[in-house]
Amino acid sequence: MAAVGQLAAGVAHELRNPLTAVKMLIETSREDLEARGMPSEDLVIIGQEVHRLERSLQSFLDFARPPKMERRRLDLATVIDAALALINGRARKQRVQVRFTPPEPPVWLEADAEHLRQLLINVAMNALDAMPQGGTLSVKVELLMLDRPCVEVHVQDTGPGIAEAILPRLFQPFVSGKETGLGLGLVVSRRIAEEHGGNLWAMNQLQGGACLILRLPTETRNPKSEIRNKLQTQNPNDPSLAGAS
């Protein structure tokens, strides 16, 4: 009940402030809207505030309802590219350089593309929040062999880093180092990682800035070899199968 109360208060606060800004801009411009139209600067602010509302509500909904996974075989780089494409506009406005080199050979996962993209967007948006005056957002992919094959996605920024007082509690509900925000984005993101059999954690880098690390199990089968073996089983004497690998 305490958590529900905190959540309700947080949602009310996050909805009230953007709505107040939108309401004031509309009331200020209402008298001459018909004569000259709303100033473009006001429209930009209204758009930003409405977008903030949307993000807050989406975080609330994602926290309130567990995700339903629809896993399919996918190329990790494709999901990362899709996530970065959605934040590139804001990155350009903030003069943030985005760096990502797809791994070779491709890394294949059994994952839900939509939820994985949402996780990466949440992490990338947090990195942009930490660099309002410019910087670099780097995404790196590393393969690991632990008790099973894994891949790590490192999302690094050149911001001020995560406050030491917040770092141990970063993935707890309602904990945030930003003036705005419900403190639910990273909670939902970690839950998505865990639903995929992985994890998500954060650290500050020695050279400055924060790094969030997503670890996921990789696909262990070799699809080309499987196709070749299947075809050879069906017709082992077919010479055209020689180039199937």
Sign of CA dihedral 234, 240, 242, 245: negative
The whole-chain average pLDDT of the chain stands at 80
Q: Render pLDDT for 53-91 as a digit per residue (tens, 0 to 9).
A: 776 666 666 666 665 788 999 999 999 999 999 899 889
The stretch 204-228 carries a mean pLDDT of: 78
HEC secondary structure over 105-143: CCCEEEECHHHHHHHHHHHHHHHHHCCCCCEEEEEEEEE
DSSP code, position 146: S
Q: Say how far apart CA 244 and CA 170 lie, in whole Å.
A: 48
pLDDT band at 227 (very low <50, low <70, confident <90, very high): very low
Alpha-carbon span 158 to 96, nearest angstrom: 10
Please report, rounded to a whole number, the percentage of residues in the chain having pLDDT higher than 70: 62
| Nearby residues of 144 by Cβ (< 8 Å), 6 or more positions away | 150, 151, 152, 215
The number of beta carbons lying within 10 Å of the beta carbon of residue 1 is 5
Return the closest-CA partner of residue 212 out of 147, 128, 144: 128
Read off the pLDDT band of 18 (50, 70, 90): confident
State the pLDDT at residue 97: 97
Mean pLDDT calculated for residue range 205-217? 96
Tell me: pLDDT of 184 over 50: yes
What residues pair up with 142 in beta bridges, in sequence order? 152
**Amino acid, res. 126:** N
Q: What was the pLDDT predicted at 241?
A: 46
pLDDT in tens, 132-161: 999 999 999 999 988 889 999 999 999 999
Q: Which of 158, 174, 161, 29 is nearest to 98 (CA)?
A: 158
- pLDDT higher than 50, residue 244: no
Residues 6+ apart with CB under 8 A from 242: none
User: For the segment 35-52, what is each residue's pLDDT rounded down to a tens digit?
Assistant: 666 566 666 677 667 767
